[in-house]
Amino acid sequence: MSIATAVGPHAEIAIGVRRFDAVTIALHWATVALVVGMFATGLSMGLATDHDQEETLLYIHRSLGALTWITALTRITWRLGFAFPPPFPSAMPRIQRRAAHLSEYALYAILLIQPVTGMAQSLTRGRPFPVLAWQAPAVLARSKALTHLFHDIHEITAWVLLGLIGLHVAAALFHRFVAKDEVFGSMAPWRPTRRRTAQHP
């Protein structure tokens, strides 16, 4: 909806920018916060000064991973059944549209895979462990080989996730400062407006 405001001999007309729906935006930024927390705790574990501190960081990291998986699944469910994604700008090339879709699918896939590999690593240690408000039981026998395998996969997918996030941020900055279209503002937590100046008759 446009809102016209008269200022002197001119009127500034603020035009509503095409945006994702509020639920999609909220889930997006919740995911950002969770991923930042996961990387922060994951990197901090290597700097822990004692075993108790390392276990606390691992608990937080594991719990954030579980929340990330739940949030990603919620995002996909909402995206497929209820979301209202805005159309791409008409001037956006087809190859960029395909790249945007592919990066979106890849991010969803990694956000689902990454927590699972971390949880599998915990399960193959063969002992109970805390996650969120629960104590997960020991349901598998201890297997050092599987633990190392899932640890390696978890690290690799973490780097893949970081790379995809980098591409995502680079694309957002490209749309903001080079293309100067509405893509950047479509997922902003605030409600941006695009203004044009109209001459009064």
Helices 51-81, 94-123: axis angle to 10 degrees equals 140
Which tens digit of pLDDT belongs to each residue from 168-185? 999 999 999 998 888 888
Which tens digit of pLDDT belongs to each residue from 50-94? 999 999 999 999 999 999 999 999 999 999 999 988 988 888 999
Cα 181 to the center of its chain, rounded Å: 22
Superfamily of domain 20-182: Transmembrane di-heme cytochromes, Chain C (1.20.950.20)
- The chain-wide mean pLDDT, for the chain, equals 87
Q: Tally Cβ neighbours within 10 Å of residue 24.
A: 19
User: Are 136 and 130 contacting, i.e. CB atoms less than 8 angstroms apart?
Assistant: yes
Q: What single DSSP character describes residue 17? A: P
Q: What is the pTM (predicted TM-score) of this model? A: 0.84
List the beta bridge partners of residue 136.
Answer: 129
Domain spans of the chain, in order of start: 20-182
Tokens of 24: 């999609």
